[in-house]
């Protein structure tokens, strides 16, 4: 592909990056929350790892097109569910975070997919322990009229992907 063909796409990705960051903030998540989880995941393997470096890797993950698309899709469904704009039976399943629904995890896997098997392992770990902001989102999602069904998995997946990106970067 020629440079002139690539350039507009790159601009669109930057624009989408800004929208994704803003959308996450509107849902109560800042990239720093995600960086903290990535740091907690990796600090036992890399004792000198800094918060700033984790934040850099979180930003790198969110710059990826497939990640942006997953975030935009998932958050949109959470928001539509809250507004009562989805039809049944999907509406009830999302508003109640129905355990056997499973598409929230599948969508999130498209985020960690970029980073290979270590991404999947980290995601499973985070999904089980619900550290930091994820636990808060999980609790908040149980409140009446609130839907974080996709958001908690998306945040966990970005943290897992960033941790995996760091692990690959410092692999010996
Ligand atoms: Mg979920």
- Within 8 A by CB and 6+ apart from 167, the residues are 42, 45, 118
Three-state secondary structure string covering 75-86:
HHHHHHHHCCCC
From ligand 1's centre to the CA of 139, what distance in Å? 11
* CA–CA dist 63, 15 (Å, integer): 10
13-169 is classed CATH 1.10.3760.10: yes
What is the value of pTM for the model shown? Answer: 0.92
List, as ranges, residues with CB under 5 A of the ion ligand 1: 104, 149, 152-153
Per residue of the chain (172 residues), give pLDDT as tens.
444 555 556 657 788 999 999 999 999 999 999 999 999 999 999 999 999 999 999 999 999 999 999 999 999 999 999 999 999 999 999 999 998 999 999 999 999 998 888 899 999 999 999 999 999 999 999 999 999 999 999 999 999 999 999 998 887 6
From ligand 1's centre to the CA of 30, what distance in Å? 18
């Amino acid at each position: 592909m020629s440079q002139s063909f690539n350039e507009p796409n790159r601009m669109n990705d930057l624009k989408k990056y800004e929208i994704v960051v803003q959308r996450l903030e509107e849902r109560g998540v800042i990239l720093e929350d995600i960086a903290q989880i990535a740091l907690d995941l990796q600090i036992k393997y890399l004792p000198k790892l800094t918060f700033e470096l984790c934040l850099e890797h979180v930003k790198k993950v969110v710059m990826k097109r497939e990640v942006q698309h997953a975030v935009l899709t998932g958050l949109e469904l959470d928001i539509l569910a809250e507004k009562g704009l989805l039809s049944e039976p999907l509406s009830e399943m999302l508003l109640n975070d129905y355990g056997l629904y499973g598409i929230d995890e599948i969508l999130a896997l498209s985020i960690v997919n970029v980073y290979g098997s270590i991404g999947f392992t980290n995601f499973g770990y985070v999904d089980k322990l619900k550290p930091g902001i994820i636990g808060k989102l999980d609790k908040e999602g149980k409140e009446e009229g609130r839907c974080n069904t996709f958001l908690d998995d998306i945040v966990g997946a970005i943290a897992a992907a960033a941790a995996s990106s760091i692990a690959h970067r410092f692999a010996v």
